[in-house]
Amino acid sequence: MTQPRTTATFTTAMLVCWLIFASVPLWIERVGLYQYLGVEILIFAIYALAYNLVLGHAGLPSFGHGAFFGVGAYAFGLAQFNLAGNLWVCLIAATAAAALSGAVVAAFISHRRGIYYSLMTIAFGQVFWFTAIKAHGITGGEDGLLKIQRLPVDLGVTSFSIADNVALYYFAFAVFVVISLMLWRLVHSPFGRVVKAIKQNETRARFVGYDVWRYKAAVLVLSAALSGLAGGLFAMAQASAFPDVMSLHYSGYVVMMTLVGGGLVSFWGPVMGAAAFFLTRDIVGAFTTAWMLWFGLFFVTLVLFKPEGIAGMIQDLAQRPKLRSRPAAPVTPAEAR
Amino acid sequence: MALFEAKDLHLRFGSRVVLENVSLAFEAGQLSGIMGPNGAGKTTCFNVLTGRYKPHRGQVLLEGQDITGRSPQEIARLGVARSFQIMNLFDEFTVFENIAIALPATRARGGNMVAQAYADRTLQDEALEILDKVGLAARADDMAKALPYGARRALEIAVALACRPKLLFLDEPTAGLGSDGRARLAELIRTLKGDLTIVIIEHDMEFLFSLADRISIIHWGQVIAGGTPAELKANPWVQSSNLGRLN
């Protein structure tokens, strides 16, 4: 009866995750990898966390999220060329443009669920992708938007360059810390719980008085906005923006990362999934160009035998000794871990 | 004036008429029953009254205010709650959270994306008080899906109670329960009676006759009889059905 009904702002898993990422530039080259890989993993970890807001927390299977990531990347570049060469302006532009795109999509699909929701997101994703390819004057078409600068981080009193990969990594890390902390709060807030309730039972949520449409729309806009932010960072990392990140198979990558990592059962699953994806690409990719085949097989195996993903395996391992010593351990909600 | 009134409701599914000339009135503080055979249109009637379906004709009035065709969430916010015949819970939530999420206090903070959802003591107490009322306080921290069937039935009602309704619709609350479970549920509903206006759909005539102030009988989408339990016992339809054996 005295069980706490609140969630800690900081958790062990969170601090461990942050510590690991904070130390990456110190050892990544010693294990034969390279600094830019860390940047990619972090950016996609932010993207996957944002995506999981929709898939894992709201249960809305979006297969067109690449659109928002791509819109963010283009918006970052376009803002830099046409608005101001200021990092904050460009990142806000990336976030806002993606949020706006998310709002347009949400207006059309928030009354849907399940497979219909998925199909609509695919359709919209294709519309954005096709537009990016065809709007040559704005996006550069298939040539992409080139010469995007890594803008200096201007903090008013001081300013430092992130042209170097390690510096960019630490900037992305700072963004990751802020976003993950925000999202952690969000999923335990009243809004987050209502979204979770809607995921489980839309009908009942409606009959206890929730305007389900508005919550579904809001969560998509939020997720799109943060995906756009990640896209903006990616444009900076790549120093360019291309339509391929908006394609259906790129949208599929973030779904795979999230599921492989265990986004359905764990807040940190998508982060692990993003890391697993890029590590597979580089490590297996060093042996064979068909690395995607192996990652795909791994994905299929997981879906068949362990749909809870990597996070689910870790949870199982963590629980096993506890079960032995305390057989009557109470069932606790998985997302608390 | 009755608390809740339905006037002359008509509803068709395609060419099939499912509700015809249905007029019902539920008085404040009373427990009304709706009875009738399978497929008679009882649940459909609830669905119209609580906003799931829009009637083709007719009016639904809450405290004299026309709420015909309003959405379920609007009607819920006006103080009309319902339970479901087929269990409709938040299975991945704890028993506590099933209640907490349905409380108007949580609903009012639904746009808050920063604060803890259930840190507030009064909110916790409110949820636990409701669970206490239905006898589930000791299981507050169990997952809803882990509850035995009877407890899930009680939780189904508790979620509706958590909406703090003026009017509570219960759709076959005893569905699937044995005689023990029925007795316990009847006891629970008896304790709720008086504080709340309640409308129950029920197949079990004995159950309904022991609880209800008034009963309406729906058959073929029409209200074919209505009255106090005593009056209805004299009704020819009731006598020709299994209830005849009750007397």
Domains present along chain B, CATH in parentheses: 1-79+165-247 (3.40.50.300), 94-164 (no CATH)
CB spacing of B92 vs A191 below 8 angstroms: no
Q: Which residues of A touch B90 (CB under 8 A)?
A: 197, 200-201, 204
Output the six-digit token pair for A179.
């976003």
Q: Which residues of B touch A211 (CB under 8 A)?
A: 71, 73
Pick B38 or A250 by higher pLDDT: A250
- Give the whole-angstrom CA distance, residue B101 versus residue B170: 19
- Give the whole-angstrom CA distance, residue B214 versus residue A246: 62
Residue of A128, A117, A136, A130 lying closest to A67 (CA atoms): A128
pLDDT for B243 equals: 52
Class of residue B77 by CB neighbours under 10 A (exposed 0-12, middle 13-18, buried 19+)? middle
Look up residue B123 and give its amino acid: L
Find the mean pLDDT for residues A218-224: 98
Find the mean pLDDT for residues A272-289: 94
Find the mean pLDDT for residues A276-291: 93
CB atoms within 10 A of CB A281: 16
pLDDT for A336 equals: 45
- Give me the interface pTM, i.e. the ipTM: 0.92
Partner residue opposite B89 with nearest CB, options A5, A204, A206: A204
Helix, strand or coil, per DSSP, at residue B131: helix
**What percent of the residues of chain A are helix, what percent strand, and what percent coil, each to the nearest 5?**
75, 0, 25
Chain A residues at the B interface, defined by Cβ less than 8 Å, are 1, 3, 5-7, 185-186, 188-194, 196-197, 200-201, 203-204, 206-212, 215, 330-331, 333
Q: Report chain A's terminal Cα–Cα distance, integer Å.
A: 20
pLDDT digits (tens, 9 = 90+) for A37-69: 999 999 999 999 999 999 999 999 999 999 999
pLDDT at residue B15 is higher than 70:
yes
Q: Which residues of B touch A59 (CB under 8 A)?
A: none
User: How far B216 CA lies from chain A's nearest CA (Å)?
Assistant: 24
Pick A85 or B203 by higher pLDDT: A85
User: How far A182 CA lies from chain B's nearest CA (Å)?
Assistant: 8
pLDDT at residue A215 is higher than 70:
yes
pLDDT at residue B36 is higher than 80:
yes
Q: Which residues of A touch B124 (CB under 8 A)?
A: 5
Output the six-digit token pair for A151.
């803008």
pLDDT at residue B157 is higher than 80:
yes
Instruction: Give a three-class secondary structure readout of B74-95.
Output: HHHHCCEEECCCCCCCCCCCEH
**What distances in angstroms separate CA B94 from CA A5, A318, B56, one per listed residue?**
11, 22, 40
Characterise B14 by phi-psi region: left (phi > 0), alpha (psi -120 to 50), beta (else). Answer: left
Question: Of A142-146, A158-162, A165-169, which has the strongest mean pLDDT?
Answer: A165-169
Residue of A195, A322, A50 lying closest to A332 (CA atoms): A322
Q: Which residues of B touch A204 (CB under 8 A)?
A: 84, 88-90, 159
Domains present along chain A, CATH in parentheses: 12-336 (1.10.3470)
User: How far A10 CA lies from chain B's nearest CA (Å)?
Assistant: 13
In terms of CA atoms, which chain A residue is nearest residue B163? A208
pLDDT for A9 equals: 86
Four-CA torsion B49, B55, B57, B61, nearest 10 degrees:
20
pLDDT band at B203 (very low <50, low <70, confident <90, very high): confident
CB spacing of B73 vs A7 below 8 angstroms: no
pLDDT for B175 equals: 87
Q: Which residues of B touch A209 (CB under 8 A)?
A: 73, 76-77, 102, 104, 107, 163
Helix, strand or coil, per DSSP, at residue B123: helix
Q: Give the DSSP H/E element, type plus range, for residue B69.
A: none
Four-CA torsion A92, A98, A104, A108, nearest 10 degrees:
-140
pLDDT for A321 equals: 63
- Give the whole-angstrom CA distance, residue A68 versus residue B137: 45
- Give the whole-angstrom CA distance, residue B167 versus residue B188: 16
pLDDT digits (tens, 9 = 90+) for B166-185: 999 999 998 888 888 899 89
pLDDT for B240 equals: 76
- Give the whole-angstrom CA distance, residue B90 versus residue A199: 9
Specify which residues A327 forms β-bridges with.
Answer: none
User: How far A199 CA lies from chain B's nearest CA (Å)?
Assistant: 9
Find the mean pLDDT for residues A90-98: 98
In terms of CA atoms, which chain B residue is nearest residue A206? B73
pLDDT cut 70: percent of chain B above it: 98
Look up residue A219 and give its amino acid: V
Residue of A8, A245, A286 lying closest to A132 (CA atoms): A245
Q: Which residues of B touch A3 (CB under 8 A)?
A: 140-141
- Give the whole-angstrom CA distance, residue B46 versus residue B200: 10
CB spacing of B159 vs A197 below 8 angstroms: no
pLDDT for B171 equals: 93
pLDDT band at A201 (very low <50, low <70, confident <90, very high): very high
Find the mean pLDDT for residues A241-263: 94
pLDDT band at A323 (very low <50, low <70, confident <90, very high): low
Q: Which of A110, A183, A202, A208 to mutate to test the interface with B (most CBs of B within 10 A)?
A: A208
Q: Which residues of B143-160 are buried (b: 16+ CB within 10 A; e: fewer)?
A: bbeebeebbbbbbbbbbb
pLDDT for B242 equals: 61
pLDDT digits (tens, 9 = 90+) for A296-314: 999 999 989 998 999 999 9
pLDDT at residue A33 is higher than 80:
yes
Decide if A3 contacts A332 (C-beta within 8 A).
Answer: no
Residue of A4, A140, A128 lying closest to B117 (CA atoms): A4
Find the mean pLDDT for residues B69-75: 94
